[in-house]
Structure 1
Amino acid sequence: MYRFAKTAVNITGQAVRQVRHGSSAPQDFHSKYGTGVLLSGAVFCTAVWGFVLTQTGIAWNLSPVGKVMPKEWRGAEE
């Protein structure tokens, strides 16, 4: 149990040090590329949905109420 507790404290200490000092990634990534990534994602999403809505021919489950008329019953066979 002592070895487990010692290892747990060591891992926790390493995590605290890593959070305190930050990761190795530069902190200006978002300010450099954030707007471009956001805009390119919005353009991609708009283009994909534009294609889906206009070119794929999907039936979008529109309500058939008032559009579908029942067929007449067959006459009694004589």
Structure 2
Amino acid sequence: MPVEEIAGSLLGGIGRFIAWMFVDLLFHTIILGTGYMVLSVLAPNKERSENACAAAGLITWALIALTVFGIYRATLA
């Protein structure tokens, strides 16, 4: 029926929009913010690009995750 197709596409669009907002908010606030802070400490006089902030933020969060996992594994023994 046409009503089901319209409702399905409308709900799918709303779901995609909410997911996009969540991912965008997560990426811009957590990853880019962390990368900006790390780069401002390591290289205070240089201009920071969005790509450099993203890379630094992802590396920082990966190191945090590995450290937490290592501590967790060390306390199991």
How does the TM-score come out when normalised to structure 1?
0.42
| More RCO (CA 8 Å, sep 6+) | 2
Larger radius of gyration: 1
Structure (1/2) with the larger helix percentage: 2
